[in-house]
Amino acid sequence: MKSDLSLLVKLQKLDLEIDSAIEGRRSLLSQIREAEKKILQLKEDLSNKETELRQIRKERREKEKEIEEIELLLDKYEEEKYKIKSQEEFTALEREIEQAQKKKGKLEDSLLELMEEEEELADHLPSFKEEVKREEKDAEEKKEILSRDLENFDHKEKILQEKRRNLVSQVDSLLLEQYEQLRKTKDKIAVVPVKNGICDGCNVKVSPSLIGRVKRGEITYCESCNRILYIF
């Protein structure tokens, strides 16, 4: 019985190391995913800005074309003035000219706004590209470091799992089943020490009779939390 208890204590220590390795690997994987996500987001942001600039330039060209067409129309109206013979036709033409000039004015205001947006974006884009390159490089370097650390965690876990298999083969199957069940229901802590007469798992006083059994190396369960007890 004493050997069984000693094996469980060793198994508990080993399992905690494995848990730590698994958690470390999980954390690294999360950080790697975040680094990859950051790279993708930077590329997407850059692509969006480039698309925005192309769209602004397209809209600018369209408005410039509209303004040119209106200017041609106004030139045509000016020529028609000299061919008009009635006041009624002249008044109607003046209205057409006025409407065309108003439309041209609105287009010119809109064009000016687009040109300002284009200039601001075009000026900012080169520095943003450099920033993206730097951030991407930093993210890639961080990802490489994390990947190397991940390999170390994987190697460490493999070694620990091998040690665990060897240790588990020495533990009584029924006792191992109880241990595994306690690990599942007791926050992964199945075996706890008794310190100054107190169960280290639930901080409840352990009766002298149970302490005596623990000292004799018997498999003893805390009356409060049901964890397996041992004494250093």
**What is the mean pLDDT, run by run of 10 residues, along the chain of 232 residues?**
83 94 88 87 91 95 96 92 86 92 95 94 91 87 88 91 94 94 95 95 96 91 96 84
Adjacent-strand bridge partners of 229:
192
| Cα gap 59→46, rounded to integer Å | 20
pLDDT at res. 38: 85
* Residues sharing a CB contact under 8 Å with residue 227, sequence separation 6 or more, in sequence order: 182, 186, 189, 190, 191, 192, 199, 201, 202, 221
Per-domain boundaries in the chain: 29-160
CATH code of the domain occupying 29-160? 1.10.287.1490
The Cβ of residue 11 has, within 10 Å, a number of other Cβ atoms equal to 22
pLDDT at res. 169: 93
- Mean of the per-residue pLDDT values for the chain? 92
State phi, psi for 227 to the nearest 5 degrees. Answer: -75, 160
Token readout for 128 is 């943003």
pTM exceeds 0.85, yes or no: no
pLDDT at res. 82: 83
